[in-house]
Structure 1
Amino acid sequence: MKVYLVGGAVRDSLLGLPVTEKDWVVVGATPEEMQANGFRPVGKDFPVFLHPDTQEEYALARTERKSGHGYGGFTFHAASDVSLEEDLIRRDLTINAMARSEGGEVVDPFSGKVDLKARLLRHVSPAFAEDPLRVLRVARFAARYHWLGFRVADDTLALMRQLSDSGELDYLVPERVWKETSRALMEPAPQVFFQVLHACGALEKLFPELAALDGVPQPQAHHPEVDTLVHQWLCLEMAATLKLPLTARYAVLCHDLGKAKTPQAEWPRHIAHEIRSARLSRALSKRLRVPRDAADTAALVAEYHTHCHRALELKPQTVWKLFKALDVIRRPERLEDFLGACEADARGRTGFEDRAYPQANYLRGAAQALQSVDVAALRAEGLEGPALGDAIEKARIQAITTFKQQELNP
């Protein structure tokens, strides 16, 4: 029985990056031997065990054979006679198909170290094209290691295009697409994930609302980059620069989807694109089964992001309308996600990257001013029901009015 460290831990250690998770492959063992040594079985499709002390995953070396559609359409075979190389050849990329022995020797049958040095994401074997999930995984790795200069190898991109054209992407379950997308959105260069999907034809299949933005023009005075899809890439890049949380980054992804539905006769203007964007955002979220908080925030950013950009010009009544839509009294944390996404939109434009965004602090201050409204005192006056509600709303609008006067006329 031999044990090897495999996958990401080997890759990242060779890149000089922190290793956060360790996966192990066991060659020459049976499930019975693993359990006899105290390992606890957890694998459903193939034998995976948790180490009795470290709780790290140890999988028996295995082979796989395509037996159906989608990423789950495989039959696995794990046995004591499966070699390490047979296990490694079924992996997606050469940089993920290396192993390290207990003695520290790196086992690299598919030239992963060469591709690490060349900064290439290259498939291990033609079997890559059997698993549609690998299209998303490679795009995610491209987003993760873009800062190091990695790119997808041309022949691998061709296989990804083959997968996109084959119809196999249709068999990916929504939850798995969202899982990969949510992880990609939190990578250092989230825009690269979608750019790679676009380059291989997968964006049109998985995110048609986003792909439809390609070539849609915007007013050059406000958007020097003109193309709406380019603007989208810049916004995602800015979202990462601002270190926004996932909820806000997903909102950035959805904020301008409605511009694809603008009649061409109205180009480059996009009148009422906000409402269309909110509708398309909800449709995308429903299809991908996005968690409710992220879906709701995305729809709100889509509908109200131009309110945020014009915050300094808005009447106090309109600011209160915005706050009510965001439910800032009960959900104050949502305001930060909203403001972060809107700032990423404002600064995600060519030449606008370093511009200040005072609207965010203005709205933070206006929201804080609402805390000065003494609801208990209004109740003490004997108000209740609709009358109390009206009085609270008037008091809150007055608080915003007072804040605005102090802010703009110090």
Structure 2
Amino acid sequence: MSEDRFLDGLEVYCVGGAVRDKRLGWPVYDHDWVVVGASVEDMTRRGFTPVGRDFPVFLHPVTHEEYALARTERKRGHGYTGFVVHASPDVSLEEDLARRDLTINAMAESADGTLVDPYHGQRDLAARRLRHVSPAFVEDPLRVLRTARFLARYRGLGFEIAEDTLALMRELAQSGELGHLVAERVWAETEKALGEPSPEAYFTALDDCEALAVLMPELLEDREALAAALERLHCLPSSQVDGAPEQDDSEVGERRRWRWARLLEHLGDDARAALAERLKLPKAYADLARQAARTRALRLDSEAAGLSADQVLGWYDGIDAWRRDERLAPQLRLLALDAPELARTLGAAYRAAQAIAPKALLEEGFKGKALGEELDRRRQAAIAEVLAAHLAES
């Protein structure tokens, strides 16, 4: 850092996640920097580009990493945005660290590697404890979600939420402050948590502090079903989406979508729709959850009384398999987790039904409504034939 001419003469510290994860042996992907004793004019004169909307943040001229001026915050209003920020050369590093949520996020490292730890974050790292920095924790309701998300990340290392911190989270949940969080922020934290090693810990933590009842009450309508759903978060329809950390962004996104689908697949249509509307879910998440719910319902029907060709045809229609055939294979893999023979049968039935081409029916003279009805009739007959053959084999 000292060899960087743009930083020469500045008091700069690495803060937050990079300091924490370095000491945990966790992968460090990003660095956050705090500059103490400098002004906006100092930074712009050195060639840094201002990008902060709510407080002074600058991009390094070469590395494009973010450098923020040391600042303090004072609550004035509701929610996570109701803060007045003060950033100036007279704000100390300790004052800047004091505004952070958890002690493990309130550590800094100087250019020579010296740890600055006024709130005993290193002690809490050793104790595997998520603990708030100060009572000001309750000023920001988003910290309830962030703390739960950190638990989802580090539960496998033995971390727990400190009892007094959990009490503050509960206080926030009971105060009505969570209601001031916009849906996009709630979903952003939830989506990140779905990608963590222990996503179930996120939802159990929110339940423990009574926040889940505020943010996602539909999940609490059946606690036994919720417990089973949380176990399903690690049972996904493809090993490729629940595997190693070197996966690319598309695979990580797929894992998150499947975990959300598995969490919701036992819910009814109305409950899923209510959650989707409240959280402003991306369409890909809502669609996959709906498909997974249909697949679960089909499996339960099969276990209860067997399946008719009409039910199977309805399932293909419900997941839009005729127009979007790429949807079928993932749902068959999902089905195979609990009913592998049924998955094989439905795969064969689909191939048989798909072989009936609308073009051939047109050539036979079917048109309009009659064409659709005849296509369904013949597809259903093909499905019935496969079902009967597989039933006879078993």
2:315 maps to what in 1? 322
1:130 maps to 2:139: yes
- Whole-Å Cα distance in 2 between the matches of residues 47 and 282 of structure 1? 40
Q: Which residue of 2 aligns with 1:100?
A: 109
Per mean C-alpha deviation after superposition, the further-off stretch among 107-116 and 362-371 is 362-371
TM-score with structure 2 setting the length: 0.85
- Please name the residue that 1:294 is paired with: 285
> What per-residue deviation string (whole Å, max 9, x for no partner) do you get for residues 229-259 of structure 1?
32233233435996263333222222334xx
Tell me the alpha carbon deviations over residues 214-236 of structure 1, each in whole angstroms, 9 at most, x when there is no partner.
3xxxxxxxxxxxx3332233233
- Residue aligning to 1:55: 64
Q: Which amino acid aligns with 1:48?
A: V
**1:120-152 alpha-carbon deviations (Å, 9 max, x no partner):** 111111111111000011011111111111110
Does the CA contact (< 8 Å) of 2:237 and 2:333 recur in 1?
no
Which residue identity lines up with residue 359 of structure 1 in the other structure?
A: L
Aligned to 1:373: 356
Judge conservation of contact 2:238–2:333 (CA < 8 Å) in 1.
no
- Aligned residues: percent identity? 50
> Is contact 1:189–1:240 with CA below 8 Å preserved after alignment?
no
Letter of the 1:256 counterpart: H
Of 87-96 and 299-308, the range deviating more from structure 2 = 299-308
2:224 corresponds to 1:231: no
Is 1:253 matched with 2:263? yes
Aligned-pair CA distance for 1:69? 0.5
Picking from 1, 5, 10, the partner of 2:19 is: 10
What code does the residue aligned with 1:316 have? A
Determine the C-alpha separation between the residues in 1 that align with 2:171 and 2:83: 19
Matched residue, 2:269: 278
Letter of the 2:308 partner, please give it.
K
Corresponding residue of 1:273: none
Q: How many Å separate the matches in 2 of 1:340 and 1:85?
A: 52
What is the CA distance between 1:341 and its match in structure 2? 6.0
Moved more, 367-376 or 153-162: 367-376
Deviation of residue 114 (structure 1)? 1.3
CA distance in 1, matches of 2:353, 2:13: 59
The 8 Å contact of residues 237 and 330 in structure 2, kept in 1 or not, is answered as: no
Distance 1:240 1:384 in 2: 39
CA–CA separation in structure 1 for the residues paired with 2:220 and 2:341 = 32
- The CA RMSD over aligned residues, in Å, is 2.5
State the secondary structure of the residue aligned to 1:63: strand
* 1:104 counterpart SS class: coil
Aligned amino acid, residue 251 of structure 1: A
Alpha-carbon distance in structure 2 between the residues aligned to 1:113 and 1:343: 46
| 2-structure distance, mates of 1:123, 1:56 | 27
Residues 138 and 362 of structure 1: is their aligned pair in 2 closer, same or farther, counting only changes over 3 Å? Answer: farther
- Give the residue type in structure 1 aligned to 2:77: G
Whether 2:383 is the aligned partner of 1:400: answer yes
Alpha carbons 1:185, 1:250 under 8 Å: kept: yes
Structure 2 partner of 1:353? none
Structure 1, 62-71 or 372-381: larger mean CA deviation:
372-381
Q: For 1:29 and 1:66, locate their aligned partners in 2 and report how far apart those are by CA, in whole Å.
A: 24
Residue correspondence of structure 1 range 26-37 to structure 2 within 5 A:
26-37=35-46
2:33 pairs, out of 24, 31, 50, with 24
Alignment match, 1:272: none
In the alignment, the residues of structure 2 paired with residue 240 and residue 7 of structure 1 have an alpha-carbon distance, to the nearest angstrom, of 36
Q: Deviation at 1:385?
A: 1.9
The whole-number CA distance in structure 2 between the counterparts of 1:119 and 1:318 is: 51
How far off its partner does 1:310 sit?
Answer: 4.1
Which shows bigger deviation, 41-50 or 374-383? 374-383
Letter in 2 for 1:281: R
Change (3 A) 1:82 1:335: farther
Structure 2 CA distance, aligned partners of 1:33 and 1:198?
47
After TM superposition, the structure 1 stretch with the greater mean CA deviation from structure 2, 392-401 or 96-105, is 392-401
Q: Secondary structure at the match of 1:147?
A: helix
Cα deviations by residue, 1:40-90 (Å, 9 ceiling, x for unpaired): 222110111222332222211111000111111111111122121111111
Does the 8 Å contact 2:335/2:342 carry over to 1? no
| TM-score of the pair, normalised by structure 1 | 0.82
Distance 2:389 2:360 in 1: 24
In the alignment, which of 351, 373, 381 is matched to residue 390 of structure 1?
Answer: 373
Match of 2:248 in 1: none
Secondary structure in structure 2 of the residue aligned to 1:238: coil
Distance 1:241 1:28 in 2: 52
Pick closer, same or farther for the CA change 1:360–1:248 going to 2, 3 Å: farther
Structure 2 Cα separation of the partners of residues 403 and 55 of structure 1: 60
Q: Tell me, what secondary structure is at the counterpart of 1:17?
A: coil
SS in 2 for 1:245: helix
What displacement does 1:338 show? 4.4
Give, in angstroms, the shift of residue 309 of structure 1. Answer: 3.8
Residues 133 and 61 of structure 1: is their aligned pair in 2 closer, same or farther, counting only changes over 3 Å? same
Q: Does the C-alpha gap of structure 1 residues 11 and 75 become closer, same or farther in structure 2, counting only changes over 3 Å?
A: same
Asked if 1:88 is matched to 2:97, the reply is yes
